[in-house]
Amino acid sequence: MSIRPYRDIKRRKTKEIKVGKVKVGGDNPISVQSMTNTLTTNIKATINQINEIHNEGADIVRVSCPDENSTKALKEIVKHVNVPIVADIHFHFKRAIEAAENGASCLRINPGNIGSISRIKEVVKAASANNCSIRVGVNAGSLEKDILEKFKEPCPEALVESALRNIKILENENFDNLKISVKSSDIFLSIEAYRQLSKRIDYPLHLGITEAGGFVSGSIKSSIGLGTLLLEGIGDTIRISLSDDPVKEVKIGNEILKSLNLRERGVKIISCPSCARQGFQVIETVKILEKRLSHITKPVTLSIIGCVVNGPGEAAMTDVGITGGMKGSNMLYLSGVQSEKVLTNDMIEKVVSEVEKKASEFEKS
């Protein structure tokens, strides 16, 4: 059982491209990305972090390639991971060529610092030869000098002009396996830039609020910015930029998509903030269940409500539900129907068991 969306989001129709084995755009699910923060030359640490990010639910992982040793490391890294790798390139176009030749599935280039048109053409040639897609990553903080002089300051129109200019360069080389981003640390600037660009092109859009900040502030800014665009049907792949563990970026990204019914992956928990009416310790219970159920990838809805005010109603709309009762006895709901009373001491194990059963049923169906 899943809660029926009050309103379905009509996504903007875009071209379909491939980032390795992952299809982006078209009718494909919105993919979630993150980026390693290890030294890429530390091959073992980078592989471990990529796999942690992937296991959390990332579809694509980006790796910084600031020097030749980093691009050489890609050749070994890609042998030990099962997720497409995007090489993040700034300043040195040769790093992009090396990354394409060493196994990157996508090249992220920054128009503001990658160099002349002739250099971009060399990058395109390498991408084409190695079946590698390209992301044109425009940032408000690193616009081309002439565009910045024209508009006097970063603004939506400046970001869009930069994106369109570089799209044209790639198209002139008969290259269209590309996606675009127009990021800023300012929510309003980012939203308007993406809105304007979405009306001008049909390439997939990579959404993000760049340099969003720490876990709390960055998650909030990203949720507002990306959530606004996603509600309008804009966006084909997302990255939450946090000054924190990149695994948390994936958690937040997936939660944003799950909240908008744009992605079904893992357990979706509906829980109350708790109050004096609670029949058990809701907050601690939710924390424990989030960890215990993190291995489940099939979509299962779970309600954890401390009392009978909203408990039965929420449980009626979820696959598994617990409503707090009196004297340590709580009601378990399965597929929206009362099933049995469960003692508080037995509740977590019972919920884990029932959610795993539901996930197994969905796996077989």
Work out the pLDDT band at 166, boundaries 50, 70, 90.
very high
Write out pLDDT tens, residues 209-246.
998 899 999 999 999 999 999 999 999 999 999 999 99
pLDDT over 70 at 42, yes or no = yes
Task: Indicate the SS3 state at residue 288.
Answer: helix
CA distances to 316, 320, 322 from 334, rounded to whole Å, are 8, 5, 9
How far is the C-alpha of 254 from the C-alpha of 265, rounded, in Å? 8
Please state the CATH superfamily assignment of the domain spanning residues 267-364 in this structure: Sulfite Reductase Hemoprotein, domain 1 (3.30.413.10)
- CATH for 17-259 is 3.20.20.20
How far is the C-alpha of 236 from the C-alpha of 185, rounded, in Å? 20
C-beta neighbour count of 344 within 10 angstroms: 17
- CA 220 centroid distance within chain: 14
Domain boundary assignment for the chain: 17-259, 267-364
Q: Which helix (H) or strand (E) holds 337?
A: strand 337-343
Residue scoring higher pLDDT (230 or 91): 230
Roughly what angle, to the nearest 10 degrees, separates helices 43-55 and 246-259?
20
pLDDT over 70 at 311, yes or no = yes
Task: Indicate the SS3 state at residue 360.
Answer: helix
pLDDT over 70 at 7, yes or no = no
Work out the pLDDT band at 260, boundaries 50, 70, 90.
very high
Strands 178-183, 133-139: pairing is parallel
Write the CB contacts of 193 (distance below 8 Å, at least 6 apart in sequence): 156, 159, 160, 182, 184
| pLDDT of res. 117 | 86
| pLDDT of res. 6 | 54
Task: For tokens 């991971």, name the residue.
Answer: 81
Q: Provide the sign of the torsion angle of the four alpha carbons 159, 183, 229, 22, taken in this order.
A: positive
How far is the C-alpha of 78 from the C-alpha of 199, rounded, in Å? 36
Segment 316-323 shows an average pLDDT of 94
| pLDDT of res. 1 | 46
CB hemisphere CA count around 85 (13 angstroms): 30
| pLDDT of res. 265 | 83
Strand-pairing partners, residue 333, are 321, 338
Segment 251-256 shows an average pLDDT of 94
Structure token pair of residue 302? 């779970």
Name the percent of the chain lying above pLDDT 90: 85
The per-residue b/e assignment along 63-72, b for 16 or more CB within 10 angstroms, e otherwise, is bbbbeeebbb
Segment 108-131 shows an average pLDDT of 88
Task: Please tell me the pTM assigned to this model.
Answer: 0.89
Segment 52-62 shows an average pLDDT of 96
User: Which pairs from 37-46 meet CB under 8 Å and 24+ separation?
Assistant: 37/246, 39/70, 40/64, 40/65, 40/66, 40/70, 40/73, 40/74, 40/77, 41/67, 41/69, 41/70, 41/73, 43/73, 43/76, 43/77, 46/73, 46/77
Mean pLDDT of the chain, nearest integer:
93
- Amino acid 256 reads I
Work out the pLDDT band at 266, boundaries 50, 70, 90.
confident
